[in-house]
Each structure stands twice: as structure tokens, then as C-alpha cells.
Amino acid sequence: METLEVDMDASTTSTRWDDDPSSRYRRNITTVPICRLAPELLSRIFTEYAEEEGAHWNLKWTYLMLVCRRFREVGLAHIELWSYISMPLHLPSPDACASYETRIGRAKGWPLSIRLHYNTDLAYFLEHRETFFWQPANLKELIINRDRRNSRGSHFEGFLSRLVAAEYPKLQSLTLNAATMKSSYSHLIHRLLSFSVTPVLQTLSLGFVPAEVWTDLPSLTHFDLSSPLPDRDIILNLLSLLQRCPQLQALRITELQRHFRDIDLPCPSDQVLLPKLESIIHFGDLPLANALFKSITVPRAKSLMMILTSMDSVAGIKQLAANIKRYLLDSPKAAAGAHVLEVDRHTFTAYSHRDCREMTMSIGIGTLPPEIDLERLFYTLVPAFLYAAPIACIDMRYRSVEDDDTPTLSFSTDKCVVLIQPAENVWWMLDILRSLLPSLDARTHIASICVDLSMFEKHGPELARRTFSRVTEYLKEAKMAGKGLEVVEVIHTVQSKEELGLVPLDELRRLVEVGVIVDGTMHVPL
């Protein structure tokens, strides 16, 4: 592939007299003055320059339009470049404003993105809403942050009143920061969503959920609820809003203040269908998460992340398990994406494939109350995954399944391999697998077990011996239930006599259908 060298200063070609003629010729045939580039390439240069500038809002990229008439034409022809203009956190000085206004006026463009940090220093802006900073007809993105310490609520409410008086036909993204919101502004936000921003709004971020929204949001694909204040009807109001968003694809809730721990949250009598929702992220306490998940049906969901700061009760964990099970059963993509289940103490993570490591589901749990220990958590949540998803690999080891130190066992889509190391939680997993043997409904079918002894020195011989004892007990019961395992593999024995002596090879060979593999060597059944 040929590389085109672009000379930003065409005059430099004729001022380098120290080159010999042949060098100048070779350089000239591969060098093109930038003003001669195709419009598409010039547009890309403009865009990359604007992206590097980001939210600093110094408009340096507009200087490109002053290079020549060609550059000016490109800048005017690609109005999408102006979406990179953003307000800084604080209003610029009057001199800077005048300079910006001159440049914008010269370029005949208007800002399409405004990031506004509301405080008392913005009196100029509020008093001169018709300034070049504020063109509602052209805005594509509006982000408003309010500093509670340096701004008075009455002034801010007046600002919101003026905000909702205009229409924003091109607005695609609206963010009203969490510190901005309180329930007394609900009628203003309700009016803003119902009349001012509905046509093409795609992303909405709020600090509370307005009680009612009368108009559909047909283009909304992403909704972010951040740090909502206590509200008994939050689930009812949230679902009422989401039902008006037929194209919603992503929902994110951040609730770290633990406002909903002791609030009884009413839920609708019937589950609400969210037909296009694919991604759900929840950071916060369990009660709000449980109330949401038992109220919705998401047939196209394929990604779920829940970081739960704490558990509230045994009943709450049981409800969480029921919600996980129904989520996987309702969504074929979610179930198919749970190809690998990685279990590490308080975290349960599913991946779409053993090699690509695309995370499709993660349940992370923080503090447990005294009445809930890790064993109870395990026995409650793990069966929900095994019942509802056709898992191909369960990894219980203290390592990532993408490491090089992996077994030779194959991972299919219809049978499961369990990877374990000697540890107490492994015994819990084997007990769970034994309890599922009579079940005909579980989607996960265990075919093989791999025992990884790579951490033998840490675990010690006694723990390894007890682990093999539990494995053989499970193999016996599985065989009696007509669900005998195909293979048991043992890796990283290091061929030491002590470790090899711990492997009950003959007993394992009597209990498997295909064979026992020890560090790559197959031993056929007896």
C-alpha cells in the first residue's frame, strides 16, 4: 500500500536548497500540498483536529478555515464539525467571548453542543440568552451541571423555566446532572420532555424520574438515571417513562446513596415489555434492582451488569436469583451469551466465549449482612445460572480462563466442563451439581471435570485429597442417576510422587465413560 505524504506548508518544497535535484524530484512526486487534497480528506483532517480539541472549547480548529478559500469552503460544507464546540465549565471572559463570536461569525456557523456549569457567574449568559452561545434551533447536545453550593435554587428554577420555553428540534442528547435535580422541578422537566425535545432525542440523563410524560420519545435509545432522591413511586414512574421509548436499547441506573433500602417500592401488576432493550447497568442497592427486574420483560437483552453495594435480606437474595433465572429464560441472546461462567467469591461473571472474553453478564456483590454468609449466597445464586443457561464452562479457579494454563478438554455448546482447584467453595459447587442430578429442566449438562493443581503448594495435600474425594462422590451419584461424566482431567501435577499419589486414578477410571487425562496422557476406563 502506498503512503501519501502531506506537506502542510507547500512553500517548504521550494525553500530546501540543500537537497540535490534527484532528491527534490523524488520528494515532489510523493508530496501533495494540503490545499490540493480531495474534500473528503480535508474533512477528515478538520474532524480529527476538532476531536483532539475536545471540550476545551478554544476553537483553534477554526483557524484552518482561514488558511485559504478552499479550506473555508470545506468548513462551511461540513456543518457537523460544529458539534465539537462545547461551553467550558465556566463562562469565558468578555474578551474571549468577543473573539469566539468573531470567529464563529466569520465562519457562519453556530455551536451545536453546549456544556453548561450553572453557578452565579453565569448571570451574563442568563440575561443574554439570545447571545451567539445559545441557538436552540441548532443545538444537538445540552449538558447542564449545577453547583449546589454556589447557586440559589430560585435562580436555577428561573433558568429552567426559560430553558423549557424554547424548542430544540435538533437536540440529540440532554443531560441534567444529578445535583441539578429535585422533585420541585418535576413539572419543568415534564414540560421539557413533552414539548421541547421529543423529535430526535437519543440520549437522556436525569437525576430523577418525572411523574408523567405525555409524549412519546420515539428516538430515545439510551436512558441514564443517576443518584435519584427517595421516591416511593420511582419504579412506577420509571416504567411509565420507558414505555414511551419504543427504541430504548440501553438503561443505566446509578444509586449509591442507599435511599431505597427501607422503602416498599410498588410495582405494576403486569410486567412491562421493553422490546428493544439490550443493555442494563445497575450500580446500587439490591431492593431497587429487584423491584425493577421483576417488573420488566426484556426479550432482546444481551448484556447485564449489576454492582450491588450490599444485600438486604435472605428474601432479597432469593428474589435476585429468581430475577436472574427469568432474565436468562426470557432472552435467548442473554442465555446464549452465558457460554462461560466464572465464579469468584462475591462475583458471578458470564462470557460469550472462552477465548474472546466478551463479558455479557456480571453480578458483583458487596457487603453481606450477618445472616447471609458466602455459602448461602452460593447455594442461592449459582443454581439460577445452571437452570436457565446452557453453560459450556464453569470456572472456579483463582485465574482467568483465558490463561495459557488451560485443560485439553473441548468446550462444546451442549455440554459443560467444570474447572476447579482444591478449595472450600468447590465443595459447594459439587453439592449444587449433585442436587441438580434429578432435575430434567436444567439447561446446563455437566460432561467433564478438570482439577487444576497449579496452586498445590498453597492448598496442600489434605485439601487436594478432600477435593478428589468430593469429585468421586459426585461421579458415583451422577452414574447412578444415568448422567455419568465422560472425562476427568487433572493438570499441573508436576509429575511428583506426592501429587500423583493424591490422584485416585483407578477409581476415577471406573467412574468415567471416555477416560481420565493426567497432564495430557489419556487413561482409558477400567
pLDDT of residue 514: 93
Q: Hey, what's the cell of 273?
A: 415489555
Residue in the block written with cell 483532517 = 45
CA dihedral (105, 111, 115, 120) in degrees, to 10, reads 40
Q: What is the pLDDT of residue 38?
A: 73
Does the residue 271 lie in any domain? no
What sign results for the dihedral spanned by CA atoms 299, 304, 309, 310? positive
Place 1 in a pLDDT band, splitting at 50, 70 and 90: very low
Q: Are strands 173-176 and 222-226 parallel, antiparallel or unpaired?
A: unpaired
Instruction: Count CA within 13 A, CB hemisphere, residue 365.
Output: 24
Residue 523 lies in a domain: yes
Number of domains in the chain: 1
Q: What percentage of the chain has pLDDT greater than the value 90?
A: 35
Inside any domain, residue 209: no
Q: Which of the given ranges, 121-125, 142-146, 217-221, 489-493, has the highest pLDDT on average?
A: 217-221
Residue 397's pLDDT is 84
Distance CA 67, CA 281 (A): 47
Tell me whether residue 317 is in a domain: no
User: 437: domain CATH number?
Assistant: 3.30.750
Q: How far is CA 104 from the centre of its chain?
A: 37
Residue 431 lies in a domain: yes
Confirm if 422 and 466 have CB atoms less than 8 A apart: yes
SS3 395: strand
pLDDT of residue 121: 54
pTM listed for this prediction: 0.79
Domain contains 275: no
In a domain, 361, yes or no: no
Q: Is the pLDDT of residue 249 over 70?
A: yes
Domain that holds residue 432: 392-526
Residue 108 lies in a domain: no
Average pLDDT on 497-516 reads: 84
- Across residues 9-32, what is the average pLDDT? 49
> Are residues 181 and 157 in contact, defined by beta-carbon separation less than 8 angstroms?
no
Of 15-19, 37-41, 464-468, minimum mean pLDDT range: 15-19
Highest mean pLDDT (candidates 24-33, 162-171, 281-290, 362-371): 281-290
Distance CA 479, CA 427 (A): 19
Measured between alpha carbons, how far is 79 from 70 in angstroms, rounded to an integer? 15
- Note the pLDDT tens digit of each residue in 257-302: 777 877 888 899 899 999 999 999 999 989 999 999 999 999 999 9
Judged against a pLDDT cut of 70, whether residue 35 lies above it is answered with no
HSE, side-chain direction, 13 A CA sphere, residue 190:
14
Nearest CA-CA partner of 195 in 218, 214, 223: 214
| Mean of the per-residue pLDDT values of the chain | 78
Per-residue pLDDT of 318-368, as tens digits, reads 999 999 999 999 999 999 999 999 998 789 999 988 776 788 999 998 878
Mean pLDDT of 417-431: 89
pLDDT of residue 386: 95
How much is the pLDDT for 261? 79
Beta strands in 240-336 (DSSP E): 250-255, 272-273, 279-284, 296-297, 303-310
Strands 222-226, 521-523: pairing kind: unpaired
Quick one: pLDDT band at residue 176, thresholds 50, 70, 90? confident
pLDDT surpasses 60 at 240 = yes
